[in-house]
């Protein structure tokens, strides 16, 4: 019985090189996908860190009786192509009496917002691939801010109806106690930022 002929040496070299090239291409593609994902995540985290600072600054400077301000994770939903991409976070307040309450949702048949890229925050990249982060100021105009730098004075709110009405509603139903609008603020209030990303809709 005749022996089966194996691949010739040139053929083996060719297929070996082809396999190496395909592995390299797959590796480069996978690395680029990973880096693109990290770039997007970093943009969201930088933008929301600044938005959380803006919210926390307003509460700390304008409300007394606040012991701690913290934030939910950043909930991201949609793919930005076939469905609208949303990203939102809500503040969580603690009073001096041991009570804790989360913003947003419905209270006494009234709805209260979360905070994110559909209101208060805009994020994107410019033509050079540099991060663009904008926060809504007192008049509702968007002002460009830079991650890692102090929050510009022009982005600090003197009034915020969404926050004011939400705190008032939480106090009215007894979820929070002793928190009231005051120029004294809560200078010793602890602030805990949260830039952890989660997929899904905030409940």
Buried b / exposed e over 119-158, threshold 16 CB at 10 Å, is ebbbbeeeeeeebebbbbbeeeeeeebeeeeeeeeebebe
pLDDT digits (tens, 9 = 90+) for 95-134: 999 999 999 988 888 898 889 987 899 999 888 888 999 9
Say how far residue 174 (Cα) sits from the centre of its chain.
Answer: 29
Q: Write out residues in the chain with pLDDT < 70, as ranges.
A: 1-9, 11-37, 78-84, 202-203
Rounded to two decimals, what is the model's pTM? 0.81
Q: Where are the domains of the chain?
A: 12-199
């Amino acid at each position: 019985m005749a022996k089966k002929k194996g691949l010739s040496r040139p053929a083996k070299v060719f297929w070996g090189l082809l396999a190496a090239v395909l592995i390299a291409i797959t590796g480069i593609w996978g690395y680029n996908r990973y880096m693109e994902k990290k770039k997007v995540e970093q943009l969201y985290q930088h933008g929301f860190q600044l938005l959380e600072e803006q919210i926390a600054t307003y509460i700390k400077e304008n409300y007394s009786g606040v012991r701690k301000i913290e934030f939910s994770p950043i909930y991201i939903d949609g793919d930005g192509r076939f469905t609208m991409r949303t990203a939102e976070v809500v503040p969580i307040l603690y009073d001096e009496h041991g009570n804790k309450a989360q913003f947003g949702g419905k209270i006494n048949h009234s709805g209260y917002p979360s905070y994110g890229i559909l209101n208060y925050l805009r994020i994107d990249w410019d033509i050079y691939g540099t991060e663009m982060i904008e926060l809504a100021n007192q008049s509702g105009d968007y002002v460009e801010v830079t991650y890692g730098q102090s929050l510009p004075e022009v982005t600090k709110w003197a009034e915020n109806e969404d926050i004011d009405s939400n705190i008032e509603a939480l106090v009215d139903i007894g979820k929070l106690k002793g928190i009231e609008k005051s120029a004294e603020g809560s200078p010793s209030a602890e602030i805990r930022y949260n830039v952890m990303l989660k997929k899904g809709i905030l409940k």
